[in-house]
Amino acid sequence: MSLFKTVPPNIVQSIRAFRVNELQQEAAHLEQHFLYAYCAEAVTKQQVLSTIASAFHFPRHFGKNFDALHDCLTDLTHKAGKQIGFVVVLEQLPNTQKFDKEARETLLDVFRDAADYWAEKKVPFRVFYSFQ
């Protein structure tokens, strides 16, 4: 039985009861890409984006802004060939003055837009996140 039987294929949601290692195992079982970024050390928007860029192996010229993040989550991975799906984990997103609720929501909106992009292509793109 799939861990994702109650999780829609294109969604951005809190990690809640899921464990990272279970999500990674399910991605492997489904032969989907597993992207993981541990953001607890980040304090600012730039640091969060840098952490994600490094963890997801974005190109060196990544612009460290939300538009560049969207481009990397859609255009660049699309050019990598046939995609069978993605399981993305953003763990411990900061809750700081320099990365406040508005910045977190904007970040998650970028991932929601990417989920919509992949849904149009019928490619699963599940994102799980947690806050500090």
Encode pLDDT of 10-53 as tens digits.
999 999 989 999 999 999 999 999 999 999 999 999 999 999 99
User: Model confidence over 64-97: pLDDT tens digits?
Assistant: 899 999 999 998 666 666 778 999 999 999 989 9
* Long-range contacts formed by 62-70: CB under 8 A, 24+ apart: 66/106, 66/107, 66/110, 69/107, 69/110, 70/110, 70/113, 70/114
pTM over cut 0.85: yes
